Amino acid sequence: MARPAHHRRTTRPSAAAALPAVFLAILLFVLPGRARAQATIGFAPDHGQFQCTETWTVDVVVDGIPTDLRGACLVVGFDRNVIRPLSATAGDMFTDGGCAWFAHSPIVADADSVVLSLATLGCTVTGAGSLAHLSFAGHAGGVSPIVLRRAQLRDGVNAPIPYVAGSAQVSFDCAVASESRSWGTLKSLYR
């Protein structure tokens, strides 16, 4: 007895053949969710122009922490020939949360970066806001980039929170003395 043409025999694929399909499904459905869960770290304001006698305060801001932020370590770089750090303190995301927090930042006057470690002690932080406040003074005239050299954002189980980083730029105008002096007077100033 012959089988009709529409009754063909089908075979089941082996487990080895199904494995790539399962792996592809995981890549398509799990990884895009992680890519959307990235935070953006930047600076506000992202530019400024000041005189040498003025100070400039910039916030390190984060836009959209997708999960519970419990700690951060930030390394912010700049041109030490143009600006010098004055202070680095915890931002509003840590200080306005209603629970205890920790911040540590040793300021080295002639360094080319500021390192700031932050943690909440028992609270969860999500959303957008200021991670840190950084203050600088002009050292010499020029333009200095402000860049996030390195950062670690951690959640409640100490897992890293992915991020993308932005940058800023500040310009300090330092006046040059206009009175005339003899060469000997100038040499004596720098001895």
Residue 165 and residue 149: Cα distance in Å, rounded?
9
What residues contact 119, with CB distance under 8 A and at least 6 apart? 70, 71, 72, 94, 101, 102, 103
Residue 93 and residue 129: Cα distance in Å, rounded?
6
Q: Which residue has the higher pLDDT, 6 or 133?
A: 133
Q: Which residue has the higher pLDDT, 33 or 143?
A: 143
pLDDT of 23 > 50? The answer is no
Range of lowest pLDDT (9-13, 57-61, 167-171, 179-183): 9-13
- Residue 103: its H or E element: strand 101-104
Residue 113 and residue 84: Cα distance in Å, rounded?
9
- Asked whether the whole model's pTM tops 0.85, one would answer no
Q: Where are the alpha helices (DSSP H) in 12-66?
A: 15-36
Q: What pLDDT, on the 0 to 100 scale, is given for residue 33?
A: 40
Dihedral in degrees, nearest 10, Cα atoms 117, 121, 122, 124: -40
Per the prediction, the chain carries an average pLDDT of 79
pLDDT of 19 > 80? The answer is no
What would the pLDDT profile of 140-155 be if each residue is shown by its tens digit?
888 899 999 999 999 8
Classify residue 36 by burial, with Cβ atoms within 10 Å: 0-12, 13-18, 19+: exposed
Q: Which domains does the chain have, with CATH numbers?
A: 38-173 (2.60.40.680)
C-alpha distances (whole Å) from 171 to each of 49, 64, 187 are 5, 29, 29
What residues contact 169, with CB distance under 8 A and at least 6 apart? 46, 47, 143, 144, 145, 146
Q: What count of other Cβ atoms lies within 10 Å of the Cβ of residue 167?
A: 14
pLDDT of 114 > 50? The answer is yes
Give me the mean pLDDT over the 72-83 stretch.
92
